[in-house]
Amino acid sequence: MKNIYLILVSLLATSCATVGSVIEGGKDMGTGIVDVTVKTAGSVSGAALQDISSVVSTVAETYDGVIDTVVENVDKQTDELQDESEKSVKETNK
């Protein structure tokens, strides 16, 4: 009878160790999956933000060029109008 108790105790001890190993393995696997998922999401988010910043930068540069062109054209047109108004003032003074 003592032998049966020893066998049962040894089986119980090894099964507890096995259950403990499975639980630890499951925790390691779960934390690994979460870690990889968070790192991947962070990388994708970083890449998306870099792409967005590149697009915004390109749009800003293009917009800046458009503004410069508009300013130059308006300046030319106002210069032409000023020249015409100065000519008409000079002609009326004669």
Tell me the pLDDT tens digit for each residue of 30-57.
Answer: 888 888 888 888 888 888 888 887 777 7
How confident is the model over 64-87, as pLDDT tens digits? 777 788 888 888 888 887 776 666
**pTM for this model (two decimals):** 0.43
What confidence score (pLDDT) does residue 22 get? Answer: 77
Residue 13 has pLDDT above 80, yes or no: no
Q: Kindly write down the DSSP assignment for every residue of the chain, as one continuous string.
A: -HHHHHHHHHHHHHHHHHHHHHHHHHHHHHHHHHHHHHHHHHHHHHHHHHHHHHHHHHHHHHHHHHHHHHHHHHHHHHHHHHHHHHHHHHHHH-
Residue 94 has pLDDT above 60, yes or no: no
